[in-house]
Structure 1
Amino acid sequence: MEPKLGFHELLHVFSFLEARDLLCAAQVDKVWNEVSGTKELWRQLCLRRWSSCKTSQMTLGTQTWKEYYLCRSELEFRMECGRPEKDFICKAIAGHTGEIDELAYISTKECRFDGQEKSMVCTVSSDSTVRAWDVQEGTEIWSSPLQPAALVNVVTFPRLQLAITVDERGLIKVWGAENGWEQASFRLPTFSSALQACEHPEGPFLLVACAEGFLYALTVPQLQLRSRTRVFPSSPTSLLCSPDCQWVFASTQNSDLGPKVFHTRSLLCLVEDEPPVSATLPIWLTSRACWAPDETARLMVTHRNDNGTQLVITTYELRTKQSREGVDVVVQQMASFLLPNSMIPPHLMKGHGSQVILLVSGSELALFTIHGVQLAAFQDHQRPITSMWVDQSRVITASFDLSLRVYVWNKETKPPVLKSCYHLLGGSHRWARGFTHVEGDSMSIVGVEARNIGTSVLRSYCFQVQRGSDDCIS
């Protein structure tokens, strides 16, 4: 009779198996069933499959790692299939009497399958209100009182459960996400051209650019002024924070003024009579930019070449260096390439991983590496794309053709391959002009559907998980 392997020997052997193999092993006998369900085996499978799945970034609740793996695998399967009613439920959510100008998720974007998962979004509208919505239920949670002017932008701090809005006159307000109570306000001298929520290691703060070319850093939630810096004289400024909020990119479109990068810590701890730590990039006529989400300080910028005839995408790495005079910003060019002459100038730009750039030109979505290799081009929409949302698993585009297109990353290839999966349809063309915005989290997708009568509704698509069906494990 052959000797049997003990618990620890089996555990070592099982550590080389994939999820489906472990599920099969569990059917052999009682010992194999016990070993194949060991917490550490399934925790390692989660960490290998989802790099963001770290204990500090997720909440297991009452779940085991095995249950989490099965549920999340099923969720990804359903998001890739996109079968109405079977994989997701669609709801139209109405309430605003004007057009929705912006939306943002209030709920954290972590995956939870312990019965406590809930998706919430916040919207601002020309009807001068900010509102919060339960995406799964399709109901309004709260609405603010009528504000003095139309609200034009909103950002959120999910960890703090705060929403921050700005109106067309430059009045900024902080709202409690759970109850809609106003907590603080700050008035700019002119309207705001950009708003960025920053979760900095030294504490959360808000970056605001105003039309006269100043950059404001405000504490959250008090909205106390930390610094005020002139960036571009009398020019509306765009802002873009790096993934770790250590850097902020500031630019003004199609200007001879080169864009700037600021080290955000210097904006929070400004020394009197000393400017913040910054550098001007050696480019001009900037149009779009994005950060590489898997890198701490990799910036990709679309701009014109030296004679202004062609569009170029240049990639930079940023770091700080201590000198006798203080701290300097070191800007290193990593790559640069010309966009094809036949390509319409892109109006949307996002990064994926550390090497991939997504560009939207008209109704086309194109993917390039930072070295200019074109990976794919999709023309799934009949009318121009208005919005794009990108995360580690999916890409979603919104269009005036009244549809959302869902794409899924195949991360097993290098660089990753994007697969076009399915359309999510809006309402009737008789009543609607198309989708103007799209956002998503781990469990849902929300689009803003503009109506012909000057109003907007939310259209939510919530994906259903049957608590980890084994059939979804491949």
Structure 2
Amino acid sequence: IWNEVSMTKELWRQLCLRRWAPCKPPSVVLGTQTWKQYYLCRSELEFRVESGRPQDFVCKAISGHTGQIDQLAYVSPNEYRFDGGAKSVVCTVSSDCTVRAWDLHEGTEIWSSPVQPAPLVSLVAYPQLQLVVTVDTQGLIIVWKAETGCEQASFCLPTSSSAMEACDHPDGTFLLVFHTQSLPHQSEDKSPVSTTFPIRQSSRACWAPDEAARLMVMHRDDRGTQLVVTTFELKTKKSRDRVNILAQQLASFPLPDTMMPHLMQGHGSQMILLASRSELVLFTIHGLQLVAFQDHQRPITSMWVDLNRVITSSLDLSLRVYVWNKENKLPVLKSCYHLLGGSHRWASGFTHVKSDSMSIAGVEARSSGTSILRSYYYKVQLG
């Protein structure tokens, strides 16, 4: 009888929802996997991600670019699928003037664009739309089809100093593009909607992932002698003929004199992660230091933060994996293990890192001035 009960669909569905729905409701592709398969496979995956033993993943060095990789982004949806139908795919842009797509599981190149007139310096991805958007040093923006590499559209900015961000909205997905000439040289009929923050010498800023209008800013105090992190809540106020943006200060705290952070990321609505040289420190927005890690031997170059993990890359040619413990009122970060790159004879360190549910991708700089991808793909026995 108990054996029959353990096979019921509703039992495994409730187990899945109880364990993972508070973060993101699990989805099962009907007809290809069951709730029981989903529960067992995801449990195994989370165990391997937290353990990081050599038998838990497959590491591949993937080369193809003839220049330096400047950015990467996942174009595969970050979802948990254990039916064999999902794979991890990333796109990269390089100083060799190409954008390329890679299968991290197979360790192979899927497609490469034709050589462009100028080096590509940044990209954003829309996994649900299967689109990739790149920008080059001359301000040319191109939209590529992620599955085939075919060019879909293009337009040029009036300046090469630009940054992009993929944004989701209930009415549709859009691209947010920043360029420096629009503010001092306004040619539009209407002035851009903007606001001024009551701070000086800001150096870093990041959004709180769980609060769409919460911004954390690192800046100097009024005397210009100490670094401070201030959190603002942005609101809009509409009048008859214009919209005003209001910045309300929620919290502020000074950083220790020994810290000179060069990287900053938010987690949830209350947490700030700062990288200062080789140290990673977790604060609340009110200045309570929760934990500090000194796992790297050389400076941290980038960090990836999501609901489950934090991953840092370093010039010491390693990636460090941390896991969130969400059982406490305030999330606690636990240091788990290193993922090692290649030989110091040929490589000079990791420069970027990104991750999805099944894999980690790092950009490994080579001593020759080029870059390769190094993927770590977690093993799961598909049900």
TM-score bracket for this pair, using the shorter chain length: over 0.9
Structure 1 residues 287, 45: CA separation in 2 closer, same or farther (over 3 Å shift)? farther
Tell me what 1:146 maps to. Answer: 115
1:96 aligns with 2:11: no
Q: Aligned to 1:421, what secondary structure does the other structure show?
A: strand
Distance 2:271 2:60 in 1: 33
Considering only CA atoms, is the larger Rg found in Structure 1 or Structure 2? 1
Tell me what 2:357 maps to. Answer: 442
Distance 2:129 2:304 in 1: 23
Tell me what 1:308 maps to. Answer: 224
Tell me what 1:286 maps to. Answer: 202
Per-residue deviation, residues 354-391 of structure 1 (Å, max 9, x unmatched): 21110000000000011100001101111100010011
- CA shift, 1:59, in A, is 4.7
The CA RMSD measured in Å over matched residues stands at 1.8
Picking from 277, 288, 299, the partner of 1:384 is 299
Picking from 65, 71, 74, the partner of 2:41 is 71
Structure 1 residues 40, 192: CA separation in 2 closer, same or farther (over 3 Å shift)? farther
In the alignment, is the contact (CA less than 8 A) between 2:158 and 2:181 conserved in 1? Answer: no
Structure 1 residues 330, 188: CA separation in 2 closer, same or farther (over 3 Å shift)? closer
- CA shift, 1:322, in A, is 4.0
Q: Aligned to 2:83, what secondary structure does the other structure show?
A: coil
In the alignment, is the contact (CA less than 8 A) between 1:192 and 1:208 conserved in 2? Answer: no
Distance 1:59 1:183 in 2: 32
Aligned length: 379
Distance 1:184 1:467 in 2: 38
Alignment of 1:210-249 (within 5 A): 210=179, 212-214=180-182, 230=183, 233=184
In the alignment, is the contact (CA less than 8 A) between 1:47 and 1:53 conserved in 2? Answer: no
Structure 1 consecutive aligned stretches of length 4 or more whose deviation exceeds 4 Å:
none
Tell me what 1:15 maps to. Answer: none
Tell me what 1:119 maps to. Answer: 88
Tell me what 1:368 maps to. Answer: 283
Tell me what 2:267 maps to. Answer: 352
Per-residue deviation, residues 47-90 of structure 1 (Å, max 9, x unmatched): 333234326xx453422223212211111100011111x10000
Picking from 128, 147, 167, the partner of 1:178 is 147
- Whose relative contact order is higher, 1 or 2, with alpha carbons under 8 Å and at least 6 apart? 2
Q: Which one-letter code corresponds to 2:181 in the other structure?
A: G
Distance 2:357 2:317 in 1: 23
- CA shift, 1:37, in A, is 4.2
- CA shift, 1:309, in A, is 0.9
Q: Aligned to 2:47, what secondary structure does the other structure show?
A: helix
Distance 1:40 1:284 in 2: 57
TM-score, structure 2 length as denominator?
0.94
Distance 1:388 1:83 in 2: 21
Structure 1 unaligned blocks of 5 or more: 1-29, 215-229, 235-271, 469-474
Structure 2 unaligned blocks of 5 or more: none
In the alignment, is the contact (CA less than 8 A) between 2:28 and 2:34 conserved in 1? Answer: no
Identity of aligned residues (%): 72
Per-residue deviation, residues 247-277 of structure 1 (Å, max 9, x unmatched): xxxxxxxxxxxxxxxxxxxxxxxxx844344
